[in-house]
Amino acid sequence: MIQRLHLCTTARCFSTTSSVQAHLSHIGREPIKVPASVTLNTTQNAISINGPLGSTSVPLKPFVKLNFPEPNVMTVAVESPSVKEQRQMWGTTRTHISNAITGITEGFSVPLYLVGVGYRAAIESDPRGKTEGQSGQRLHLKLGHSHPIYVPVPPHIKAEVPIATKIVLSCTDKHLLGLFAAKIREFRKPEPYKGKGVFVGREQIRIKSVKKK
């Protein structure tokens, strides 16, 4: 009987410890290093970030708290980590702020590879110019279709074509960069039989073998 009581007590203690750990965000509690070239302005609803490559802002929930325990160091916290919404936004907000700081100091870039016979890309002037919020440039793509594909380059994206089968996209916003890269990939997704398509970054696919009857 004594042994059973001891096991139950131990189980309760272990359960309590697990409950406490479940309320912590391993990503959210990590401090963010703020370079000296970056200036921050916080309000109740957002944080403005200015750096060498431009400026941006990240919206903040009312329960998110920003602290500066040391010079050039920022931490993110929430009022009640036990609340599911606050616990989820804790790590998300920290990631968005960290990405914004990296974007305006170093920027983000991603390569796209065109794999396939006759697949080509070129950067050229857009006949529409810089009207309608465009950058004045467009991508001319040949991806095995019966017609060429023209993709206008947004003003916040920098596109380069070092060789005919490679496109390099750059942007200060990681999310917008990913959206534009995904848009180009949609025109010819990588297929698993011949391995042709538009590959983003280090994307790889498993080639399937065709069964012969």
Residue 91 lies in a domain: yes
3-state SS class at 117: coil
Beta-carbon neighbour count of residue 2 at 10 Å? 6
Please write the tens of the pLDDT for every residue from 135-144. 889 999 999 9
Is 99 in the same domain as 155?
Answer: no
Residue 123 is predicted with a pLDDT of 96
pTM of the full structure: 0.81
pLDDT tens for each residue of 55-73: 999 999 999 999 999 999 9
3-15 tens-digit pLDDT: 444 444 444 443 4
User: Residue 110: what are its φ and ψ, rounded to 5°?
Assistant: -145, 135
- DSSP label of 154: P
Supply φ then ψ for residue 108, to 5 degrees. -120, 150
| Domain at 156, CATH number | 3.90.930.12
Residue 94, domain extent: 32-106
With beta carbons less than 8 A apart as the criterion, state whether 136 and 130 touch: yes
For residue 1, is it within any domain?
no
In angstroms, the Cα distances linking 207 to 96, 113, 193, 196 are 35, 17, 6, 10
Domain boundary among 106, 126, 157: 106
State the pLDDT at residue 10: 44
| Sign, CA torsion 183/189/190/194 | negative
One domain for residues 135 and 60: no
Confidence (pLDDT) at 59: 95
Q: Cα separation of 140 and 177, whole Å? A: 18
Structural domain count of the chain: 2
pLDDT in tens, 91-145: 999 999 999 999 999 999 999 999 999 999 999 999 888 877 788 899 999 999 9
**Does 169 map to a domain?**
yes
- Spatial distance between the Cα atoms of 143 and 107, rounded to a whole number of angstroms: 28
CA separation for the pair 97, 76 (Å, rounded)? 9
Residues 126 and 184 both lie in one domain: yes
- Choosing from 50, 76, 106, the residue where a domain stops is 106
Number of Cβ atoms within 10 Å of the Cβ of 9: 10
Indicate if 80 and 128 belong to the same structural domain.
no
Q: Are 117 and 183 part of one and the same domain?
A: yes
